[in-house]
């Protein structure tokens, strides 16, 4: 726990809020306070922006090789301190150790990937129609990037954004979620130890009350060139509007409503295993979590019975304890939301097969893994993103009906389906209106693949070689009179 810091990180220094106010960080599994961090506001954030802007003046001139070396040193330290990061992540997010370990490995992989990608950000030479002119195109960093990250993946959402930004030559002001700021600060300590120059990475911590003013400043400040946000669609739309005044570059990774379709030709055991991974990872609190389970008539009973049996094997509890594989929800607001969605469905005729209530014997924020059947369109779980350990199952007859239901949403982040019919695999993967599609696979995230959605699930892509696009702009250079 030597990485547990209780100060914000601005311009290479550990600082308090100007007001000296702090906010408590609680362990959602136990409710205990595990630390405090500065409760900063727009005035504090302005100093971080100015530090990042000043640092950009020299950071943008570093060579790709130099940026590769900085990122590689950071990655090596992340690996060396992996278990410390895992413990901090577990106690502030509630994730079981096995999941926290998986996130840290996943998050570290982005720093490794972008350390390599820094040397592959290439321009081009275009054939000129004129003999005495040469057309060059090069990619340049946009400037200061404001990174606003969520609580459900406090490590990976920062590294996925910051790794790409630094590789491109940008500097960053990071606003982590108020529920999980300690992981962000641990990452900054290791970045500083890696020698990344002061001002290149800055972290501003705050309570929910100050989040709107900080977000507005990042969006409207003339010193900030772009925003990268992961969070709710509602907040994403607000940031989109705020960025419009400066025609600012913006990347949005927003809410999902992922369908999980099981066709009659599917390998049911594989489908059940994929469902467990997709639905119950982080207690269902992932943006790519399966949200609507569409099961074809012919395999409906078999799938449901096997899924319920697997759910009964889940072990709830404090994530720090051995063997636990499902922890608490992040806060009371999330618990109340999940409870109200289930209560609404049951009151309107949904059948409760398992779960359906708080698991208060484990703690105040635990909710039982739940399965609902006979789900219909008038229920909120049919259309809303649950973000909790609730499976709502819808029966369908044919492929056309499954696609109609799956695409009948304003969201389009991830989608999953199981089939052994090759022709169907190509048809459905093409027609499913999502940015990412898992075919016979429930875990699709990796640093090498582009992550992002369509419709109201966002703009841009993170990860992969496309991940640097939101942090670069193209400059056309015409050399004449040659």
Number of domains in the chain: 2
Range of the domain at 278: 258-446
3-state secondary structure of 243: helix
Claim to verify: residue 318 and residue 224 sit in the same structural domain = no
Identify whether residues 23 and 55 lie together within a single domain. yes
Claim to verify: residue 79 and residue 33 sit in the same structural domain = yes
Q: Which of 257, 264, 304 shows the shortest CA–CA distance to 396?
A: 264
Contacts of 332 (CB under 8 A, 6+ apart): 364, 365
Q: Is residue 18 one of the residues assigned to a domain?
A: yes
Residue 335 domain-assigned (yes or no): yes
Residue 1 lies in a domain: no
Local structure of 381: helix, strand or coil = helix
Could you tell me the pTM of the whole model? 0.96
Q: Catalytic positions, please? A: 253
- Sign (positive/negative) of CA torsion 373, 376, 378, 384? positive
- Residues 258-295 as b or e (16 or more Cβ within 10 Å = b): bbbbbbbebebeebbbbbbbbbbbbbbbbbbbbbbbbb
**Ranges of H-type helices in 394-474:** 399-407, 422-431
131 contact partners, CB below 8 Å, separation of at least 6: none
Residue 278 lies in a domain: yes
Q: What are 174's strand-pairing partners? A: 147, 203
Write down the pLDDT at residue 396.
97
181 and 67 together in one domain = yes
| Residue 85 within any structural domain of the chain | yes
Residue 156 has pLDDT above 90, yes or no: yes
Per-residue confidence (pLDDT) for residue 129, from 0 to 100: 97
Residue 289: which of 394, 401, 147, 391 has the closest Cα? 391
Distance of CA 106 to the CA centre of its chain: 12
Cα 261 to Cα 356: distance, rounded to the nearest angstrom = 23
Is 75 in the same domain as 117?
Answer: yes
**Whether residue 177 is found in the same domain as residue 112:** yes
Contact 146, 219 (CB under 8 A): yes
Which helix (DSSP H) or strand (DSSP E) does residue 296 occupy? strand 290-296
Helices 64-80 and 181-193: angle between axes, nearest 10 degrees: 120
Summarize pLDDT for 120-130 with one digit per residue, the tens: 999 999 999 99
Q: Mean of the per-residue pLDDT values for the chain?
A: 97
Could you read off the pLDDT of 362-384 as tens digits, one per residue? 999 999 999 999 999 999 999 99
* Whether residue 275 sits in one domain with residue 209: no
Quickly state the pLDDT bin for 1 (edges 50, 70, 90): confident
Q: Supply the CATH number for residue 356's domain.
A: 3.40.309.10
Mean pLDDT of 5-33: 97
d(CA 418, CA 429): 11
* 249-253, strands of its sheet edge to edge: 13-15, 8-10, 201-203, 171-175, 144-148, 224-230, 249-253, 458-459
Same domain? For 377 and 294 the reply is yes
Inform me whether the pLDDT recorded for 37 exceeds 90: yes
Asked if 474 and 366 sit in the same domain, the reply is: no
397 and 304 together in one domain:
yes
Distance CA 63, CA 118 (A): 9
Does residue 451 belong to any structural domain of this protein?
Answer: no
Q: Give a yes or no: residue 366 inside a domain.
A: yes
User: How far apart are the C-alpha atoms of 211 and 133, rounded to whole Å?
Assistant: 50
* CA 329 and chain centroid, separation: 16
CB atoms within 10 A of CB 464: 18
Q: What does the alpha-carbon distance between residue 413 and residue 437 come to, in Å, rounded to a whole number?
A: 9
Q: Which CATH number covers residue 160?
A: 3.40.605.10
Given a contact cutoff of 8 angstroms between Cβ atoms, the answer to whether 250 and 379 are in contact is no
Structure tokens at 56: 């950009």
**What integer pLDDT is reported at residue 69 of this predicted model?**
98
Tokens of 54: 């000043």
Give tens-digit pLDDT for 163-218: 999 999 999 999 999 999 999 999 999 999 999 999 999 999 999 999 999 999 99
Q: Is residue 452 part of a domain?
A: no
User: What Cα–Cα distance (Å) separates residue 118 from each residue in 22, 461, 469?
Assistant: 37, 17, 12
Q: Give pLDDT tens digits for 436-459.
A: 999 999 999 999 999 999 999 999
Helical H runs in 385-435? 399-407, 422-431
Chain centroid, CA 70 distance in Å: 24
Q: Are residues 302 and 416 in the same domain?
A: yes
Q: Is residue 406's pLDDT more than 90?
A: yes
Answer yes or no: do 297 and 439 share one domain.
Answer: yes
């Amino acid at each position: 726990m030597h990485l547990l810091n209780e100060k914000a990180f601005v311009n290479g220094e550990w600082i308090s809020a100007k007001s000296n106010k702090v906010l408590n960080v609680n362990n959602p599994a136990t409710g205990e306070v595990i630390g405090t961090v500065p409760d900063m506001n727009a005035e504090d954030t302005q100093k971080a922006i100015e530090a990042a802007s000043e640092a950009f003046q020299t950071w943008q001139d570093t060579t790709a090789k130099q940026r590769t070396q900085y990122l590689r040193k950071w990655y090596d330290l992340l690996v060396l301190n992996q278990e410390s990061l895992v413990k901090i992540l577990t106690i502030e997010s509630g994730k079981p150790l096995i999941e926290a370990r998986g996130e840290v490995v996943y998050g570290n992989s982005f720093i490794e990937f972008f350390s390599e990608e820094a040397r592959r950000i290439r321009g081009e030479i275009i054939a000129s129609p004129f003999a005495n002119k040469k057309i060059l195109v090069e990619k340049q960093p946009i400037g200061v990037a404001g990174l606003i990250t969520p609580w459900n993946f406090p490590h990976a959402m920062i590294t996925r954004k910051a790794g790409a930004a630094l590789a491109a030559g940008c500097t960053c002001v990071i606003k982590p979620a108020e529920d999980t700021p300690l992981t962000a600060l641990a990452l900054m300590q290791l970045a500083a130890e890696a020698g990344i120059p002061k001002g290149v990475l800055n972290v501003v911590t705050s309570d929910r009350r100050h989040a709107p003013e900080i977000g507005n400043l990042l969006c409207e400040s003339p010193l900030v060139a772009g925003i990268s946000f992961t969070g709710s669609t509602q907040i994403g739309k607000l940031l989109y509007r705020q960025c419009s005044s400066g025609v600012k570059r913006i990347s949005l990774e927003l809410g999902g409503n992922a369908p999980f379709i099981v066709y009659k030709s599917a390998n049911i055991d594989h489908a059940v295993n994929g469902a467990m991974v997709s639905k119950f990872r982080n207690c269902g609190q992932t943006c790519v979590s399966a949200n609507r389970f569409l099961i074809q008539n012919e395999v409906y009973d078999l799938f449901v019975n096997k899924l319920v049996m697997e759910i009964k094997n889940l072990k709830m509890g404090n994530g720090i304890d051995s063997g636990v594989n499902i922890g608490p929800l992040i806060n009371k607001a999330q618990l109340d939301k999940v409870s109200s969605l289930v209560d609404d469905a049951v009151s309107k005729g949904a059948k409760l097969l398992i779960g359906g209530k708080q698991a208060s014997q484990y703690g105040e924020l635990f909710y039982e893994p739940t399965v609902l059947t006979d789900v219909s369109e008038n229920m909120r779980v049919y259309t809303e993103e649950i973000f909790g350990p609730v499976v709502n199952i819808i029966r369908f007859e044919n492929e056309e009906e499954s696609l109609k239901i799956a695409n009948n949403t304003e969201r389009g982040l991830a989608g999953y389906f199981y089939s052994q019919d090759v022709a169907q695999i190509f048809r459905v993967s093409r027609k499913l209106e999502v940015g990412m599609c898992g075919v016979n696979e429930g875990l699709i995230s990796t640093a090498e693949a582009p992550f992002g959605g369509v419709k109201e699930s966002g703009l841009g892509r993170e990860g992969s070689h496309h991940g640097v696009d939101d942090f670069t702009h193209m400059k056309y250079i015409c050399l004449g009179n040659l």
